[in-house]
Amino acid sequence: MQIFKNKTDLTAHIDHLKSEKKTLGFVPTMGALHQGHASLVLKGLENNDVVIVSVFVNPTQFDNKEDLVKYPRTLEKDVVLLKNISEDHIIVYAPTVADIYGNDISSTSFSYDGLEHEMEGKFRTGHFDGVGTIVKRLFEIVRPDNAYFGEKDFQQLMIIKKLVEKHHIPVNVVGCKIHRASDGLAMSSRNTRLKPQYRKAAPFIYKTLKTVKQNFGTKSANKITEWVKKEFAKHELLELEYFIIADVDTLKTVKRKSNKKTYRAFIAVYADDIRLIDNIALN
Ligand code: PAF
C-alpha cells in the first residue's frame, strides 16, 4: 500500500492516476481508524478504482487544546486496518501539519448559510471554519470524484455539501450510515479514551434516541426534549450538553412539526471529559 507524507508526491501520483482515467474515492479522517471508517472505505471501493484515505489530526478544528493533544494518533495500526481491506486499491495520505499549513496554522472563515450557527457551532467556536479549511484544502490536493463522510457528524456532512456547492468544487459528497458497536454506541475514535464505567454507560445515548424515535409520531418535540433532559439529569455518569429535534435542511430546532419536513434528533453528551455526539432520523 502506498503511503504519502507530502502533497508534492501525492499530487504527482494522482496526476498519473487521472491520466489513466482512474476514478478516485476519498475518505478524509483524523486517524484512530475503526469499523466506521472501514465502512466508508468499503463504500468508496464499491464505486471507485482507488480510495485515498487521509489521516490528519487537523489542529484548526479543535476549540479545546487538551482534546487536540489527547486525540489518539495510531498511524501504524491505521495502516494495518486499511491493508486488511485492500493493499492495492487504497492510498494513504498522512501529511505533517507543515505540509498542510506551512507556517500559518489558521483557518479561513466560511459562511454555510447559517448551518454553522446551530448545535456544534454553538458549543465549539470556530470548529466549522477549521473543518471547512482542511476539507477544502484536501479536496484541492486529492481532487476526488467521490468523497465519503459518516452521518454521525451529520452537521459536518451538511456543511461539507454546502461548502462544495458554494465553492463549486467538482466532487460528489456521499453521506454514509452511522456504524454502531453491538451495544448501539456510535463508533468514534474518541470511544477508545472512555474509562470502562463510562464506556459501559455510553449506550444509554442511543437507547434514549431510539425511544425518542418511537415517541416522535405521537408527542410534541418540546415534550420529548423535556423528557430527554430529565433522563440525563437522573443519570449518574453522563452529562447532557444539548439535545434538539431539528429540521434536516436548516438544522434549526423544530417548533411545530410539519409532515412535509424531515426531522432528526441530535445529541451531545459528556462521558467524563469525553464528548460524544449521535443522531437519529425520526421520519
Ligand atoms: O470527521 C472528521 O474526522 C474530520 O472532521 C475531518 C472531516 C477528517 C476533517 O478533519
Q: Let me know if residue 228 belongs to a domain.
A: yes
Ligand 1, residues at Cβ distance < 6 Å:
28-30, 58, 61, 131, 134-135, 153, 156
Asked if 266 and 246 count as a contact pair (C-beta separation under 8 A), the reply is: yes
The rounded distance, in Å, linking the Cα atoms of 94 and 108 is 22
Contact, 174 vs 142, CB < 8 A?
A: no
Looking from the CA of 120 toward its CB, the CA atoms found within 13 Å total 25
Q: Is there a single domain that holds both residue 122 and residue 206?
A: no
For 39-98, the pLDDT digits (tens) are: 999 999 999 999 999 999 999 999 999 999 999 999 999 999 999 999 999 999 999 999
Interstrand relation of 24-29 and 90-93 (parallel, antiparallel or unpaired): unpaired
Q: Is residue 169 part of a domain?
A: yes
pLDDT score, position 71: 95
- How far apart (Å, rounded) are the C-alpha atoms in residues 95 and 97? 7
Q: Could you give the percent of the chain with pLDDT greater than 70?
A: 100
Q: Which three cell numbers stand for residue 48?
A: 471507485
What is the tens place of the pLDDT at every residue in 272-281?
999 999 999 9
Instruction: Say if residue 168 is in the same domain as residue 75.
Output: yes
Go through 10-29 and write b for each residue having 16 or more CB atoms within 10 A of its CB, e for each that does not: beebbeebeeeeeebbbbbb
Smallest CA separation from ligand 1 atom 6, residue = 29
Is residue 182 in a domain? no
Among residues 13, 16, 37, 89, the one annotated as catalytic is 37
Q: What is the CATH number of the domain that holds 258?
A: 3.30.1300.10
Cα 30 to ligand 1 centroid, rounded to whole Å: 6
Range of the domain at 252: 189-281
Are 205 and 150 within one domain? Answer: no
- CATH at 76: 3.40.50.620
Identify which of 65, 75, 113 has the alpha carbon closest to the alpha carbon of residue 250: 113
Last residue of a domain, one of 150, 176, 202: 176
In the chain, how many domains are there? 2
